[in-house]
Amino acid sequence: MWSRISSALKPREGNDSDPDHSDAQSTASHPQPDPFHTDATTYYTHQSPPTPPPGAHSRTASREEDMIWSLRTQLALQQEMCAQFEVDLGARDELVEALTIRLDASEKENDKRKSVLRSWKKKAADLEKLCRHLEEEVDNSRQESMERSIMDEASGEALRQLHRQISQLEREKKDVEAERNSLVQTVGNAEAEITRLRENLDTDEDDGEEVFQLRDQISRLEREKSEVEGQRNSLAQAVEKADAGISQLRGELSATDEASVEALRYLQSQISQLEQEKTDLLVERDALAQAKERADAEVLELQEANREALCRLHDQISQLEREKSEVEAERNGLAQTIEKTEADVLRLNDELGVTNEASTEAQRRLHDQVSHLERTKADVEAERDDFSSEIARLRAHIQQLQKKSADMEVTIVQLNKQLDQDKEDIGGLNIALESKQQELELVKRKHGVRSTVGSTSGRTNSAPSIPGKHAVPPSTVLRASAVGPQTSSHAPSRVPSTLGRAANTRPPVSGALRRASGSNWESKTILSNRRLSVTSTPSETDEKENASTPLPLKHPRRSMVLA
């Protein structure tokens, strides 16, 4: 906030300053283009001198002006702080309104969820009642089915009794029919006897007693016949009654069986339907119980979140109220300070009116100083132009020197590369020299000449180089080739090899080239002597030595001129 206040006060200071001074300052400061800017076209290096800072006009203010500026600064600071506090209060009021709106929305949402929860609870209670009702109906149906089963068992027992009665009546009917048949047979026999007796009566009318006896017997038989017929009629009626009762019992039994079967089927269908409804209701009850549990959990979470939000809102509201009270206190203090400052400003304005004459004199002196400074500035600008031209000339010279240094670096790099190539060529010449010396040693061994160089088997790891000052001269090689057959039986010389020293000592290049050319001449001389001395067919020893001797490396010969 202090940075914003200072940035807000800076233009005010510039606007409230002296107009003559501002005009002089605007005429005195003409910024020159910076040659080291990002858009500059000059060539900058780290050796270029830095640009001097532009000159700025400064003046010393009086004590009264300092007091006025300090009071104005304090007043502007207090006004800015008041405005900032008002903005903060407005923002906090908006925050409180937004939080209250959110609190109202959350309370409405909580009420809505509570109503939904109550509706779910009502639905769950209704479903529980329906489940209990269905359970009661199932229990009643089970009780009825048990009673009907008991009744069916009782009706079955009655049916069994009826069957037993029917079978007993049928047996009695059979007995009555048998007795009736016997009586019919007896009646038939009696009628036959009556007809016989009547015939006998017709034939035997003479015998009176027998007739009376027979008549008595006939009357007796007729009475018995009438009695038997009465019994037969009564038995027939009883049989008819028994048949009617049996048919009635059979009809009742069949009707009872059909009704019981239909009732059983109906009860079974109702029981299965009730069981299906019960399972559906149980499933629905479980689903509703789960939904109720989820709703209870959500309600608990919402209640917890609502409590936390309410706590946070209450804390924020209390904090905002405390801050508001603090801001009110600060604003009251600032208002008092502003009043005091305004009184001081009025007093200082009065004092400023008194000091106007002194300020006019100071302005006159200031104008004189400004004119003097303008003249001085013209001189300084002329000198700066001279310095700028000198700096441009020095920069051009520095650029030329840098280009020359870059060319010199390129030349040095090329010379270093040439030197490395020359070193490689010298190494190749050293290798060629060593191979020639090995050939010379081979020729000496073949011709029986004593070795003056020494074995090179100990230098397998050393780098090839040009031999030093103690290398074998060509005259010695010629003398050794001349006396070759005479010294073939002697042992090889124990003179230390000079090739090892040549690897550690680097002779001059010109001497190395001369020695290399001498060694080539020596090898040519030895080979020509060998052609003259040896036969056309090589021996086995020569073939073995040729097989064991490595071939020399082939390097291109190049003409080198070294200073």
- The DSSP annotation for 22-75 comes to HHHHHHH--PPPPTTSTT--S---TTSPPPPPPP----PPPHHHHHHHHHHHHH
Q: Is the pLDDT of residue 451 over 60?
A: no
- pLDDT for the residue numbered 287: 77
Tokens 């070759």, residue located? 484
Span 532-541, average pLDDT: 42
Span 337-357, average pLDDT: 75
- The packing angle between helices 2-16 and 63-203, to 10°, is 140
Question: Who has greater pLDDT, 33 or 393?
Answer: 393
DSSP 308: H
Per DSSP, which regions of 58-184 are E strands? Answer: none
- Both tokens assigned to 533: 């001395």
Q: What is the mean pLDDT of the chain?
A: 69
Q: Is the pLDDT of residue 374 over 70?
A: yes
Q: Are 183 and 232 in contact (CB under 8 A)?
A: yes
- The packing angle between helices 208-354 and 63-203, to 10°, is 180
Cα–Cα dist 65/421, whole Å: 81
Span 2-7, average pLDDT: 50
Give the model confidence (pLDDT) of 483-508 as tens digits: 444 434 443 344 344 433 433 444 44
3-class secondary-structure state, position 450: coil
Classify the C-alpha dihedral 97-103-106-112 as positive or negative. negative
Tokens 């000159």, residue located? 55
Q: Are 121 and 292 in contact (CB under 8 A)?
A: yes
Q: What is the pTM of this model?
A: 0.26
Q: Is the pLDDT of residue 513 over 50?
A: no
Q: Is the pLDDT of residue 94 over 50?
A: yes
Span 73-90, average pLDDT: 84
Span 208-213, average pLDDT: 62
Q: Are 371 and 57 in contact (CB under 8 A)?
A: no
- Both tokens assigned to 531: 């052609």
Question: Using 50, 70 and 90 to split pLDDT, how confident is the model at 8?
Answer: very low
| Assigned CATH for 108-323 | 1.10.287
Domain boundaries, the chain: 108-323, 417-548
Question: Using 50, 70 and 90 to split pLDDT, how confident is the model at 7?
Answer: low
- pLDDT for the residue numbered 207: 54
DSSP 338: H
Give the model confidence (pLDDT) of 162-209 as tens digits: 777 777 777 877 777 777 777 777 777 777 777 776 676 666 555 556
Span 261-290, average pLDDT: 76
